[in-house]
Structure 1
Amino acid sequence: MKALFVLGILVMLHLEGHSQNQGRILYTSVIDYSKDGKQGNTQDKASIEYQSTLFLNGLQSLFILSQSPEGSTLKDRPDGGFEISISDKYGFSYFKDVQSKMLVSREFILNKPFILQEGIEDINWAIGNEQKKIGDLLCQKATCFYKGRNFIAWFSKEIPVSAGPWKLWGLPGLIVEAYDEQEVVKFSAKSINFPFALSEPVAPPTQGDKISRVEFEKLWTKKAAQLKQFLSSSIPAGNTEVGVTLQRIEKAE
């Protein structure tokens, strides 16, 4: 009986220590193309807001955007264009394993999901001395040039994990807020639970066809052009332009 009691204590301590590396952070993620000077036609500009969740487990993390049981939708925009909302109950996903330097993404081309496996890119952060409070957390400023944009991030060493929203990582603390200089892309944590015992393991997304990044980009360009041509053919004669916004986080790059 004594041996069983000691074993029970050891198991409890193991579980408690394991949960210390786990966490759940809720973010609001906004992509605002109206602020993007690199976008061409103004009809292609729209602001899209995602509710997002970052799950942490040691050196692994999973960031999920825009889960929606309704699936893909097509709706008119006030400027005469169309907005296509793409998602499903699994959402866009970005799994990072810092130890193996592996990134697995789940992305969409129209309503079809794909799985892309790549290496994690190192981000050359410049950590400054400027600090500010975000909620109850003391955060420090860092900057970098990443995916064609100058990003500003606020991270907190009070949450000692090298993780953040989307593909951002590599700072000595959780990225609580991040945005580019034009604020086309912005991630803001609105709820932080750390430590937090997760009910499910942090794992790469699997719901989609595997494809390389090169193949994905070629297919995306082809399908986007076909969609715009199809929608243009359905508008009244005399209108030669049609604005089409496809919800895709990668477009912000």
Structure 2
Amino acid sequence: MKKIIFSCMTAMLALSATAQDFQGMAVYESKTSTADFQARMGENRDITPEMRKTIEERMKSMFEKTFILNFNKSASIYKEEEKLETPGQGGGGRMRMMTSFMGGGGTYYKDVKTKMYTVDKDFLGKEFLVIDSLPKLNWKMESETKKIGDYTCYKATAIVPASKSDFRNFRPKRKDEEKKDEEKAKADKAKADSEKKTNFMDEVDMPKEITVTAWYTPEIPVNQGPESYWGLPGLILEINDGKTVVLCSKVVLNPKDKVVIKAPTKGDKVTQKEYDEIVIKKMEEMREMQGQGGPGQNRMQIRMN
């Protein structure tokens, strides 16, 4: 711990001369494991090898992304790197809908002084502006260290609530849970409906909490990080929640081209709780419409608009 404090003080002194206009840029590679879902696909006899290959390619484009974090001493913006869409990667209705459930692109703005964040979300064709307090993260400081690039990083862990509107937190249901759900459904639905198992939402579960491991460097003394993560005595260079890994691949301090770090302003203003409730409601609508065999996505878009 003394070593961490000393490193922090040294870095802060090094940056003090340029504190007024200090700015940095970090590139992060985000990768979410899809092994569980791929295993479940292998159990589904209705999915052909060609279909499986197409789904895996589209899932890779959804779950492997590059993000840019621009930050100063008190605020940051985190945004997906803009890329041209690969031909054939537009995807079918279900994939486009899954992308919407992941919240689209958007800019995530954090102000650690006011402890507020703002993020714009494009959900099923409608723009939302989520404004809320930064989550309080009770970090447990560890003594373990490792190198990420040229920076010495320290380990910290925290238990955080799982976002109900983040598709990456979904886990495939265990077989015993699925069996219970099927038995309950038989009382209200026809046997053919349970055998079809075309409803994606019936096959996934959402944990209440997740354990995250962060690696931060006191050599860059800003308590910023990717996505909603913050509050450590140094820039977070890696986050791992057991399913998604966000790893910094490049850091540039005081770049020549400065970026305006400000909150997005477009969209209907909602709190995080209100936004989550909207997403959950649409998921339930999707469940009902798929159960009825109707074109769920089209109806959901009409209702959202």
TM-score scaled by length of structure 1? 0.70
Cα offset for 1:230? 4.9
Q: Of the candidates 176, 186, 194, which is equivalent to residue 245 of structure 2?
A: 186
Cα offset for 1:16? 5.5
Equivalent-residue separation in structure 2 for 1:17 and 1:67 (angstroms)? 30
Secondary structure in structure 2 of the residue aligned to 1:75 = coil
What count of residue pairs does the alignment treat as equivalent? 208
Equivalent-residue separation in structure 1 for 2:138 and 2:109 (angstroms)? 20
Give the residue type in structure 2 aligned to 1:188: L
Distance 1:146-1:210 versus aligned 2 partners, 3 A rule:
same
Matched, 1:109 2:123: yes
Cα offset for 1:29? 1.5
Matches within 5 A, 1:1-253: 17-19=19-21, 21-35=22-36, 48-65=63-80, 67=82, 75-76=91-92, 82-84=94-96, 85-86=99-100, 91-147=105-161, 148-180=209-241, 182=242, 184-227=243-286, 229-230=288-289, 233=293
Cα offset for 1:35? 4.9
Cα offset for 1:34? 4.1
Identity across aligned pairs (percent)?
28
Q: Is the 8 Å Cα contact of residues 27 and 66 (structure 2) preserved in structure 1?
A: yes
Q: Is the 8 Å Cα contact of residues 224 and 230 (structure 2) preserved in structure 1?
A: yes
Give the residue type in structure 1 aligned to 2:226: P
Cα offset for 1:104? 0.9
Q: Is the 8 Å Cα contact of residues 23 and 197 (structure 1) preserved in structure 2?
A: no
1:5 corresponding residue in structure 2: none
Distance 1:86-1:199 versus aligned 2 partners, 3 A rule:
farther
Cα offset for 1:218? 2.2
After superposition, give the CA deviation of every residue in 1:18-38 in whole Å (9 maximum; x if it has no partner): 33x2111111112335459xx
After superposition, give the CA deviation of every residue in 1:73-104 in whole Å (9 maximum; x if it has no partner): 8524xxxx9312349xx932221111111111
Distance 1:69-1:230 versus aligned 2 partners, 3 A rule:
farther
After superposition, give the CA deviation of every residue in 1:49-79 in whole Å (9 maximum; x if it has no partner): 2211111022111111364676xx8524xxx
Q: Is the 8 Å Cα contact of residues 22 and 197 (structure 1) preserved in structure 2?
A: no
Q: Is the 8 Å Cα contact of residues 105 and 115 (structure 1) preserved in structure 2?
A: yes
**What are the ranges of 5 or more consecutive residues in structure 1 without an aligned counterpart?**
1-14, 37-41, 236-241, 243-253
**What are the ranges of 5 or more consecutive residues in structure 2 without an aligned counterpart?**
1-16, 38-42, 45-55, 162-208, 297-305
Equivalent-residue separation in structure 2 for 1:86 and 1:67 (angstroms)? 17
Q: Is the 8 Å Cα contact of residues 52 and 64 (structure 1) preserved in structure 2?
A: yes
After superposition, give the CA deviation of every residue in 1:138-182 in whole Å (9 maximum; x if it has no partner): 1111111112211111111111111000000111111001101x2
2:192 corresponding residue in structure 1: none
Equivalent-residue separation in structure 1 for 2:257 and 2:139 (angstroms)? 30
Equivalent-residue separation in structure 2 for 1:138 and 1:169 (angstroms)? 18
Cα offset for 1:127? 1.1
1:238 corresponding residue in structure 2: none
Equivalent-residue separation in structure 2 for 1:173 and 1:199 (angstroms)? 21
Secondary structure in structure 1 of the residue aligned to 2:95 = strand
TM-score scaled by length of structure 2? 0.59
Higher relative helix content: 2
